[in-house]
Chain A
Amino acid sequence: MVRYVVKRLLIMIPTLLAVGIIMFTLMNFVPGDPAQLALGSGVHSEAEIEAKRVALGLDRPFVVRLGEYVTKVFTRFDFGKSLIDGTEIKWELMKRFPHTAKIAIFSIILTVVVGLPLGIYTAVHANSLGDRVSLLVTLLFDCMPSFWTALILVLLFSLKLKLLPSSGAKSLVYFILPTIANSLGGLAGFTRQVRASMLEVVKSDYVTTARSKGLSERDVIYGHALPNALIPILTVIGMRFGSMLGGATIIEVVFSIPGIGQYLVNSINNRDYNACTGGIIFIAFTFALIMLLTDLLYAFADPRIKAQYVSSSKKKVK
């Protein structure tokens, strides 16, 4: 198992290297001059723009800048400074990551807590009225764009009922509406994934056998069916959690939450090569880490996968 984790961590290095090089290159060839943008709005003379370009080091050849950037990131974990405001990118990401992480964690908890039992219920009671109603509701959630859901929630809970704050990130209360808005769309997809996985399993012979042994329905579902349906569900949770850690940009903008998504959008708009590349490498690293954790969770969910890890390490010992 340890060898597997180490191997996966080592594979991350070329992946992140490739992500860094591709992003830095793409950003450099997108039209737009960070020197001009750093000077702010209004009209600037060629001399001013050139002076800014020199000050930012943009007058040096692309390959030199790329080499320097990649070396700094992968040898000193230094993402450099923002071309626009001169702040340390690592510092900015670290300050913003907790906000994004809060939205991601709360959203995934809400999705699992609501979506898992609902998915199981609809699978067990397939084609019943309850199944159809919940399918309709989740389809409705799926169709609602998150910015629209967010604004409706704000209008209802902030403006009309005055129960919750409409924007900011000062305390946990401020994360209630963003969490709900961020979860609804995903909740629909997740519920359907659970339903589909469970539907396959509840019709299996071993579930029929469990029932014929006289086990209670609860034991049959949670003890026999669910563990066997868990692998695709875990994959969905991992993928969704990983992508949410990359920032829910629209939610962050609507609720004025200073997260990673908002930072990335600003850095792309400002052609801040360093900030954008640094942010993407950070997101890629987080995503890869979450996917590794998901793979490890498979072993706990399915003894056959655990046995594979064990047997492969035994073979190596022999």
Chain B
Amino acid sequence: MKRKTLIALLAATSMVFGVCSPAFASDIQVESATPVESENQASKVVVAVDDDSFTIGPWGSDSAVRDWTEDIIWAHLCYRPFIGAMLEKDELQMNAAKSVTKVDDSTYDVELFDNIVDNQGNPIKASDVVYSYDKLAELGFVSEISLYYDSAEATGDYTLTIKLKDSSEGAIEAVLCNCSIASESWYENASENDINSNPATTGAYSVTEMVAGSGVTMEAKDDYWKTEDRADSEFQNVKEIELRCITEASARSIALENGEIDLAEISSDEIGRFEDNDDYSVTQYLNGMSQYLIFNCSEGNVCSDENVRKGVAYAFDAYNMSLSAGECVMSHDVAPNLGPDYVDSWDDEEYFTYDLDKAKEYLAEAGYDESNPLELSFLNSSQAPQQPYVALQSMLAEANIVLNIDSQDRAARQAIQNDPTAWDMCEFSNEVADFTTGFWNDLFGGESNQCFVQDDEMQSLLKAAIADRSEENMTAFHEYIKDKAYIVGVYTEVRSIVGTAGIESVPLPKLNAELNAITFADDYTSVED
């Protein structure tokens, strides 16, 4: 009885919001504000981040703090101002590199600025850049460097040659933009404490205070080595940036309301307190992480039957699943619509629209009905909100599908996900780093793909799309995956960054806020002023 009531409620909500959903999606501004170098420097901005495990040395593992700080405290050869920016189209911004010249598909000559200096006075030469790349490759913190970087050689004091292991599209951009450059002599002689508390930074900001797990304060360098033609990551629109670690979502909202911080990412269930409130400015952006459902297509699994996959795909309404996640953009492909090669017309097409009759037809063809219900083991992360999957479970029940949710912590889930005998269906998310084809390749490329499917036609269509991202090739692969339903896209979350009223715009060109390029109102005062 209770289950029926819940289903009825979900169906009613779905009908009400289903009518409104296009309006919700169209209201979302995914275009980021263009970073502008400001003439008047704001004094300080205090920003809360949801991460307390981080390092600020030149090379370290992925973390939210690193995402928000690495480009502004460490110089890189180039800066990628938006997803999919390409060197050959002259879309990369030069940072430490004065110029980059292609010699052949896997060899590039780089000329450096001859006045680069870190905040402890160490000059940066080509040998330091070579050292930085080799060190990062050895440490293995950045997967793009491990995948694409082969070697580098200094050909002069300020010139070097970079060789790639793999010349696929996007490789040189990933290599040029993902390695922090530091002085070899400083790094070799610095203690662990110096590297992580008082680093000799080469970017536009230096670190003035670092408390492990608590926060980091950075200050714009008055004597920064580059004075003109600065990349977006070299802007100094604010003198001091303090990042404060507040991991608990409600604690970030309270800190913002209590006047302890100027800016924070706020969760969808708390954003209502700040919207339509003149004391705050809200910037919404489309999170690059697309949520999708994977079917285990390995031989012998129940989901290797196409009718089962389609039966499930038509038995749930993605919009209903997204209700608890706040504002979302519904998927029309497994990838989010952020890559430059994403074909916009896909968003106008139907994509597994909820249709219970159709779902039951597919399931009947697979031999499942009321007397013989389909039972699926569903793997998900216990650290993610469970409401979308409880909603999924309720909707599937209506189509006689019993979904047994198996929630595991992040680490255990990753291990179990690689075992094709451990689950039938699972949820996952992935971000688009440059191209939609790259996203697809992560999911479907090779034999050990995420859905354990062996499909030569799929592989050849994928290779064709990667080799030539024409609309025809892209659509061919998109349609094929839609037809086979190996993986079904669900939604991409919209996230919100909330600032105090004086914060006019927060550029988010690569889905991480560019704190150094925030635009402030003339009357802006920080909570710390």
- The residues in A between 13 and 60 inclusive whose CB is less than 8 angstroms from any CB of B are 30-34, 36-48, 51-52, 55-56
With a CB–CB cut-off of 8 A, which chain A residues contact B139? 55, 86
B355 at the interface (CB under 8 A from A): no
* Interface pair A55/B140, CB less than 8 Å apart: yes
Q: Which of B59, B258, B429, B446 contacts A158 (CB 8 A)?
A: B258
**Contact (Cβ within 8 A) B147 A48:** yes
Chain B interface category by residue count = 35 or more
Interface with B: A104-112, A115-123, A161-169, A218-226, which one?
A161-169
* Stretch with Cβ within 8 A of B (4 or more), from A2-10, A231-239, A258-266: A258-266
Contacts of A40-87 to chain B: CB distance below 8 A: 40-48, 51-52, 55-56, 84-87
Task: Check: A240 CB closer than 8 A to any chain B CB.
Answer: no
Cα(A151)–Cα(B211), bound, Å: 24
Query: B52 an interface residue at 8 Å Cβ cutoff?
Result: yes
Checking B138, B192, B259, B429 against A91 with a beta-carbon cut-off of 8 angstroms, the contacting residue is B192
Closest to B415 in A: A31
Q: Give the interface SS of chain B, mostly helix, strand, loop or mixed.
A: mixed
Complex CA gap A71/B408 in Å reads 34
How far apart are B124's CB and chain A's nearest CB, in angstroms?
Answer: 22
In the bound complex, CA of A98 to CA of B202 (Å): 31
Cα A263 to Cα B257 in complex, Å, equals 27
The interface residues of chain B lying within 8 Å CB-to-CB of A33 are 411, 414-415
Residues of B within 8 A of A47 (CB): 147
Is the Cβ of A256 less than 8 Å from the Cβ of B415?
no
Query: Which residues on A sit within 8 Å (CB–CB) of B450?
Result: 43
| Closest partner residue, chain A, to B196 (CB atom) | A87
- Tell yes or no: A142 within 8 A of B by CB: no
| Residues of A close to B52: CB separation below 8 A | 256, 258, 262, 266
Q: For chain B residues 40-59, which have a beta carbon within 8 Å of chain A? A: 52-55, 59
Given A44-B143, A96-B213, residue A166 in contact with residue B430 (CB < 8 A):
no
B431 contacts the other chain (CB 8 A): yes
Chain B residues 379 to 411 lying within 8 A of chain A, measured CB to CB, are 383, 408-411
Give bound CA distance, A271 to B408, whole Å: 14
CB of B442 within 8 Å of the partner chain: yes
Q: Would you call B153 an interface residue if the criterion is a C-beta within 8 Å of the partner chain's C-beta atoms?
A: no
Give B245-263 as 1s and 0s: 1 = Cβ < 8 Å from A's Cβ atoms: 1111011001101111000
Instruction: Pick the residue among A37, A51, A258 that contacts B411 (CB under 8 A).
Output: A37
Residue from B55, B146, B408, B411 within 8 A of A87 (CB atoms): B55
With beta carbons under 8 angstroms apart, the residue of A34, A42, A51, A87 that contacts B430 is: A42
Contact A40 B62 (CB under 8 A): yes
Which residues from B are CB-within-8-Å of A155? 254
Whether A269 sits at the interface, judged by CB under 8 Å, is: yes
Question: In this complex, what residue of B is CB-closest to A169?
Answer: B214
Complex Cα gap A294–B429 (Å):
51
For residue B139, which residue of chain A has the nearest CB?
Answer: A86
Does A85 contact B143, Cβ atoms closer than 8 Å? no
**Docked-complex contact B411 and A266, CB < 8 angstroms:** no
Q: Shortest Cβ distance from B144 into chain A, in angstroms?
A: 10
Report which of B55, B212, B248 forms a contact with A253, defined as CB distance below 8 A: B248
Asked whether any CB of chain B lies closer than 8 Å to the CB of A203, the reply is no
Asked whether, in the complex, the Cβ of A92 is within 8 Å of the Cβ of B212, the reply is: yes
Q: Say whether B101 faces chain A, with CB atoms less than 8 Å apart.
A: no
The answer to whether A52 and B140 touch across the interface, beta carbons within 8 angstroms, is yes
Once bound together, how far apart are the Cα atoms of A253 and B16, in whole Å?
38
Which residue of chain A has its CB nearest to the CB of B214? A258
Give the residue name and chain of the A residue nearest to B63 (CB): A85
Distance of A55 Cα from B410 Cα, bound (Å): 22
Smallest Cβ-Cβ distance to A257: which chain B residue: B214
Once the chains bind, are B61 and A84 in contact (CB under 8 Å)?
yes
In the assembled complex, A88 has its CB within 8 A of some CB on chain B: yes
User: Looking at the complex, which one of B192, B251, B409 makes contact with A167 (CB distance below 8 Å)?
Assistant: B251
| B63 and A96 form a contact (CB under 8 A) | no
How far is it, in angstroms, between the C-alpha of A269 and the C-alpha of B431 when the chains are bound? 21
A52 to B62, CA, bound (A): 14
**CB contact under 8 A between A91 and B251, given known A43-B442, A262-B52:** no
Within 8 A of B (CB), among A266-284: 266, 269-271
Question: How long is the Cα–Cα vector from A52 to B138 in the complex, in angstroms?
Answer: 10
Interface string of B187-201 (1 = CB under 8 A from A): 000001100100000
Q: How far is the CA of A256 from the CA of B214 in the complex (A)?
A: 7
With A86-B61, A168-B260, A256-B244 as contacts: A271 and B411 at CB distance below 8 Å: yes
Contact of B60 among A86, A91, A170 (CB under 8 A): A86
**How far apart sit A95 and B245, CA to CA, in the bound complex (Å)?**
15
Q: How far is the CA of A87 from the CA of B191 in the complex (A)?
A: 11
**In the assembled complex, how far is the CB of residue B178 from the closest CB belonging to chain A, in whole angstroms?**
12
A154 within 8 A of B: yes
- State the Cβ distance, A269 to closest chain B Cβ, in Å: 6
Taking a contact as CB atoms under 8 Å apart, the answer to whether A96 and B254 are in contact is: no
Other-chain contact of B410, A43, A52, A269 (Cβ < 8 Å)? A269
Bound state CA distance, A44 and B213, in angstroms? Answer: 27
Asked if B430 contacts A86 (CB within 8 A), the reply is no
Residues of B contacting A96 with CB < 8 Å? 212-213
Chain A residues whose C-beta falls within 8 Å of the C-beta of B212 in the assembled complex: 92, 95-96, 258
The interface residues of chain A lying within 8 Å CB-to-CB of B82 are none
What residues on B are CB-neighbors of A255 within 8 Å? Answer: 251
A166 vs B261: C-alpha distance when bound (angstroms) = 11
Q: Which residue of A lies closest to B244 (CB)?
A: A168
8 contacts between A and B (CB under 8 A): A31-B415, A31-B416, A56-B140, A154-B251, A162-B258, A168-B246, A258-B245, A266-B53
Given A52-B146, A96-B213, A255-B251, 6 new contacts (CB under 8 A): A39-B62, A46-B448, A256-B245, A263-B53, A269-B409, A270-B411
Top 4 A-B pairs ranked by shortest CB distance? A258-B213, A32-B411, A40-B62, A43-B442
